[in-house]
Amino acid sequence: MQEFLGLPLDASAHGPEIDNMIGVIHWLMFALFIGWGIFFVYTLVRFRHSRQAAADTVGVKGHTSSYLEVAVALFEVVLIVGFAVPLWAKRVNAFPDEKEALIVRVVAEQFAWNIHYPGADGQFGRTDINLVTSDNPVGLDRSEAYGKDDIVTINQLNLPVGKPVIIQLSSKDVIHSLGIPLLRVKQDAIPGQMIPVWFKPVETTDEIRKKLTRTYSLQGGHDPRLSTLVAMEDYVGKDSTVIAPKGSILFEEVLSQLVEAGYTEITAGPDTPMEIACSQLCGLGHYRMRGYVFILTPEKYEEWLKEEASYLAP
């Protein structure tokens, strides 16, 4: 129903509801626009001066237009009562149980996303702005028990699939906005406030990448988009060396080698299909304040957590 709108792929549980609503509204908009448009064009043709030498001042009689306006108003009531308010309430009130959910803190700064996981104990350590350094972007107190096992990453938000996530969002400096189009999530990060957002990812990054895999032609100059893609299978040269192994980024040189090797097309998928796009002007680096979201299977997620924990000094 809303496919024609070209919304990005949707990987969160609540996403379809939003997409549906966008679809419904756009259908209403089309109906109105086309309805009025037809009438509009008809009058222009029918009542042009060469066809209608003298105006008929009575014009339209009756109440059709009032009924129409009432209909629009009613539709808007339905939109508010039936869709907007309940959906919004679900977003901002119906938070999942904190015990069921994964809680992650995200601290925005010019121009990076600092991701703070509570670690194995499930408790966030104390943070203090006096402890903020370039190695300790969130000012975490590692000396304290809760803080010992916390994991902090930059621009990389790894999440398990199928589990509700609560992000506690804040900012160190100016206003940013955590926008993740593929999860239908957006929330301003406002300094001095900690605002929670929740969602539930339902697809892993690998699945999404597969869905977004396309075949791209290598002829007639390189598609600039290819530089953000990875090969989805091994591409082997004439001398059976692997030019582009599966999952490798398709840099300019790689593409040239592929063309030399006689390939005319390549199947590729996005390297990082799900990204955090900062959605609030935050300075000169706003355009590159990009984070990556990786949705992993629960097993892989645990593995990753263990790996990260192993880097922490004992």
Partner 1 sequence: MEHATPDAIKKHVRTYVIVFVSLMALTVVTVAISYLHLDVAAAVIVAMFIATIKGALVASYFMHLISEKRLIFMALVLTFIFFVALMALPLLGQHDTIG
Partner 2 sequence: MQHTATEGYHAGAVHHEQGFLKTYVFSQDHKTIGLQYMMTALLFLFFGFTLMLLMRWQLAYPGKAIPGEAFALTPGVLGLAALLIGVVSKRKLAALVGVVFLGIAALVWYLVSDETLFPEGVMVPELYNSFGAMHGTIMVFLGVVPLAVGAFGNYVVPLQVGAPDMAFPKLNMASYWSYFFGGVVMLSSFFLPGGAANSGWTSYPPLANIATVGQTVWLFGMVLLITSSLLGSVNFIVTIVQLRANGLTFMRLPFFVWAQFVTSFLLLLAFPPLEAAGILQLMDRLAGTSFFLPSGLVISGQQLGVSGGGSPLLWQHLFWFLAHPEVYVLILPAMGIVAEVIANNTRKPLWGYKSIVYATIFLGFMSFIVWAHHMFMTGMGTVISTFFQTTTMIISIPSVIILTALVISLYGGSIRFTVPMLFALAFLPMFGIGGLTGLPLGLAPTDIHLHDTYYVIGHFHYVVAPGTIFALFAGLYYWYPKVTGRMMSERLGRIHFWGSFVCMNGIFFPMLIQGLAGVSRRLYDGGAQYSHAQGVLQWNEVMSISAFALAVFQVPFLINFFWSIKKGKKVESDNPWDATTLEWQTPTPPPHGNFTSLPEVFRGPYEYSMPGSSRDFTPQNVR
What the block records as the tokens of 310 is 């192993």
Contact between 282 and ligand CUA (CB under 6 A)? yes
The C-alpha atoms of residue 245 and residue 253 are separated, in whole angstroms, by: 14
Q: Which does 57 bind (CB under 5 to 8 A by kind): partner 2, ligand HEA, ligand CUA, none?
A: partner 2
**DSSP run (H or E) holding 242:** strand 242-244
Nearer to partner 2, 8 or 237 (CB): 8
Nearer to partner 1, 196 or 247 (CB): 196
Q: Which region, judged by CB under 8 A, interacts with partner 2, from 116-124, 249-257, 268-276, 297-305?
A: 268-276
Q: How many residues bind ligand HEA (CB under 6 A)?
A: 5
Would you give the binding string for partner 1 spanning residues 174-193, x where CB under 8 A is met?
Answer: -------------------x
The C-alpha atoms of residue 192 and residue 137 are separated, in whole angstroms, by: 16
Contact between 283 and partner 2 (CB under 8 A)? yes
C-alpha distances (whole Å) from 234 to each of 174, 230, 240, 246, 274 are 44, 10, 11, 5, 23
The C-alpha atoms of residue 14 and residue 103 are separated, in whole angstroms, by: 18
Contact between 27 and ligand HEA (CB under 6 A)? no
Shortest reach from residue 31's CB to ligand CUA, in Å: 36
The C-alpha atoms of residue 123 and residue 23 are separated, in whole angstroms, by: 41
Residues 28 to 57: which contact ligand HEA by CB under 6 A? 32-33, 36-37, 40
**DSSP run (H or E) holding 254:** helix 252-260
Contact between 280 and ligand CUA (CB under 6 A)? yes
Contacts with partner 1 by CB under 8 A lie at 92, 193-197
